[in-house]
Chains A and B, each alone.
Chain A
Amino acid sequence: MSTEHGTADASRPEWPLYEVFVRGKRGLNHVHVGSLHAPDDQMALHNARNLYTRRNEGVSIWVVRAEHISASSPDEKDPYFAPSGDKVYRHPTFYSIPDDVPHI
C-alpha cells in the first residue's frame, strides 16, 4: 500500500490549491476567506460553499486557482520563498475588510 502515500507520483497528482473569496452580504466586497483543495473549478465552488459559508445561502463565492494569482508585496523585501515574487500568493486563511469599507 505504500504507493497510496506517494505525493510525488505523477499518476496521483494532488488536487490543486484554490483561494476562496466570499461576499458575506450584499453591499460588501468579496473578501479572501481562505483556501482549499479541489480537483477543478466546479468542485472548488462546492467545497467553498460547504466549508466557508456553511449552510448559509445568499452569498456570492469566487474561487481561483492559487497559481493564477499574481501578488506584489512592496514592503516584504527578499521574500522567504524567493524567487516567488510573481508567483503563487498562498495567502492562508482569510483577510479582513478594512474598517472604512462602507456597510449598506
Chain B
Amino acid sequence: MSGDDHIYSVLGQEHGGDDRWAFGTGFTDALAGVDTTLPEGVDGDDLALYCQMLGDDALVQAQRLVHWVTDAPELEEEVALANIALDLLGQARLLLSRAGQADGTGRDEDGFAYGRGPAEFRNVHLAEAPRGDFARAVATLLVLSTARLAVFTRLVESADPVLSAIAAKAVNELAYHREYAVSWTLRLGDGTPYSHERMAAAVADVWPLTGELFAAHPVEARLAAQGAGVDPSALADEVHGVLAQVLTTATLAAPAPFPEPAVAGRDGRHTPDLAPLLDELQRVAREHPEATW
C-alpha cells in the first residue's frame, strides 16, 4: 500500500489543525511535579486507610453509576453520568495509588481495587446502596457530592501534598457533580406531581444513610489533628444547610436532621449490597490472577 492509501491520511490532508474544530485540549496530570514523600508528622498507615476511605467512596459510587450508561432516560444523561463516573474513577485511582505509597507496600490502584474483599473496603453505605430509579440516583449524587465537596474543599490545605493536589483537581469535578444533581433535583421535585412524588421518595430512601457521612472514624480524627485529613463531624451543619436549601427550592419538604452519626463502612462493616457489587467489579481480574491487561 502506498503511504496516502492509509485510512487516516484523509484526516490529516483536509482538515487542518484541531483549533478549527473547537476541540478541548486533552488531559493534565494532577500529580505532575508533586512531592510524593510522606510528610513529617503524618502517620503512613493512617493516611493509607484514609485514602482508601475516600477512594472507595468514589470507586464504589462509580461502579453503581456506570450501569446508567445504556439505561438513562435520555442519551444526554448517559453522557453526563458517564462523565461523573469517569471523574470519580479518576479520583479513586489517584487515592488508591496514594494509599499504596503511604503504607509502604507499594500496592498499586488495582491491588486495592481487585485484591480486597468487602470487609476491607472502607466506603460509606450510601455509595454501595442499590442503584434504584433516576430520582434515587439524583438524590444519592446530591448528598454524596455535597458532602464530598465539603471535605475536599478543606483537603486542598492538607499537609500531604499528594492529597492536596488530588483535592485541588477534584473540587472542580465535585462542584459540577453537585450542580448536575441540583439541576435534576429541581426538575424532578418541581416538575410533574408524579416526579415530585418519586423525588420525595428518593430523598426519604437515602436519608437514613446520611448520618454515617458525618461520623468521624478514629483515623479521620487523628489525621485531622495532624493537618492531613478532614473531620467530617464538623461539616454536618454546612452540608445540611446546602441540602435543605436545594430540597426546599425544589418544593420538597425541608429535610429532617441527619440521623445520629455512626461509623460502619469506614470500619469495613457493610450492607449485603456491597459483596455482589465487588463480585462484578473483580470477577474477570480474579478469574485470571496471573494475567496482564
Contact = CB atoms under 8 A, between A and B. Distances in A.
Given A25-B25, A43-B183, A96 B20 contact: yes
B82 to A, nearest CB: 8
B80 A24 contact: no
B33 interface: no
A50 B80 contact: yes
Nearest to A103: B19
Interface residues of A, number: 32
B24 A53 contact: yes
A56 B22 CA distance: 11
Contacts of B83: 50, 54-55
A37 B77 CA distance: 11
A56 B19 contact: no
Nearest to A11: B192
A99 B22 contact: no
Contacts of A28: 19, 22
Interface residues on B, range: 20 to 34
B293 interface: no
A54 B24 contact: yes
Nearest to A32: B22
B25 A97 contact: no
B21 interface: yes
Main secondary structure of the interface of A (DSSP, over half): loop
Residue with the highest number of chain B CB atoms closer than 10 Å, among A46, A94, A99: A46
A22 B83 CA distance: 18
A57 B22 contact: no
Contact of A56 (B25, B76, B86, B187): B25
A23 B22 contact: yes
A59 interface: yes
Interface string B15-38: 010011111111100000000000
A37 to B, nearest CB: 7
A54 B26 CA distance: 9
Contact of B183 (A36, A46, A51, A57): A46
Given A57-B172, A99-B16, A24 B79 contact: no
Contacts of B27: 55
A47 B76 contact: yes
B180 interface: yes
Interface in B76-113: 76, 79-80, 83, 86-87
Interface of B: 16, 19-27, 74, 76, 79-80, 83, 86-87, 172, 176, 179-180, 183, 187
Top 5 nearest A-B pairs (CB, nearest first) are A56-B24, A24-B22, A22-B22, A47-B76, A96-B20
23 contacts: A22-B22, A24-B24, A31-B20, A31-B22, A33-B22, A36-B76, A46-B80, A46-B179, A46-B180, A46-B183, A50-B76, A50-B83, A53-B24, A54-B83, A55-B24, A56-B25, A58-B25, A59-B22, A59-B24, A94-B22, A97-B19, A97-B22, A99-B20
